[in-house]
Amino acid sequence: MTVNIILTSITAYFVSRKNVMWNRLMMFLIVITMYFNGGLIPNYLNIKQLGLYDTIWALILPGAISSYNMIIMRTAFLSVPDSLEEAARIDGANHFTILFRILFPLIMPTVAVLILYYAVGHWNGWFNAMIYLKSRTKYPLQLILREILINNDSSSMVATATGDTGDKLAISETVRYATIIVATLPILFVYPFLQKYFVKGVMIGAVKG
């Protein structure tokens, strides 16, 4: 998630600068990626050829930047007055100083929202792990929980077919509900701490006046 926020911030800062050549063209190309995708097979071949298969980086690098989240952060950067950046440049600040010491603290509500977005995405992610990981020791929690649910459903189907529907079905339901709680509680605990930033962070730049 740290990689997500850092790369998203750098990209959003770059495309939010008014003096960048072909800024509109780059934004158009970035938006295009939200509607068109190469597909599962080309992505899989890329992961294999880059040597990322069966590594944790196969889950981090391909989704390191979300176009949607980057556009939200870009809008937040555009809402900051240009005078602050100009004053920092007069004092000798470089781009990284302006980004991480001036602009970044001013858009913390947006950063909190994007942390929540990325956290939920990583926490609920299991499909990429199923495709790109072979070693069970590297499986994320959600993929393990998915296997538990599938095995649990299979056991309940066998119990129903054989007529043994007593304790096995009760255990099956217990395991299913326990899995749902394990998958849901961490996000429920995090959200109250970020709730006060949520609406403000999403709506930054949405209303002009």
> Do residues 70 and 44 make contact, with C-beta atoms less than 8 angstroms apart?
no
171 part of a folded domain: no
pLDDT more than 90, % of the chain: 11
pLDDT of residue 183: 74
Give residues with Cβ within 8 angstroms of 44, minimum separation 6.
131, 132
How far is the C-alpha of 183 from the C-alpha of 199, rounded, in Å?
A: 24
pLDDT of residue 40: 85
pLDDT of residue 5: 92
Total domains in the chain come to: 1
Using a cut of 0.85, tell me whether the model's pTM lies above it: no
Check whether 200 has a pLDDT greater than 70.
no
How far is the C-alpha of 16 from the C-alpha of 115, rounded, in Å?
A: 20
Instruction: List the CATH number of the domain containing 66.
Output: 1.10.3720.10
What are 103-124's pLDDT values in tens digits?
A: 988 888 888 888 888 888 888 8
34 part of a folded domain: yes
183 part of a folded domain: no
Residue 124 in tokens: 């609920």
Mean pLDDT of the region 183-200: 71
Enumerate long-range contacts of 176-179, CB under 8 Å, 24 or more apart: 176/149, 176/152, 179/145, 179/148, 179/149, 179/152
73 part of a folded domain: yes
152 part of a folded domain: no
175 part of a folded domain: no
> Do residues 58 and 140 make contact, with C-beta atoms less than 8 angstroms apart?
no
78 part of a folded domain: yes
Domain residues for the domain of 57 are: 2-134+195-203
147 part of a folded domain: no
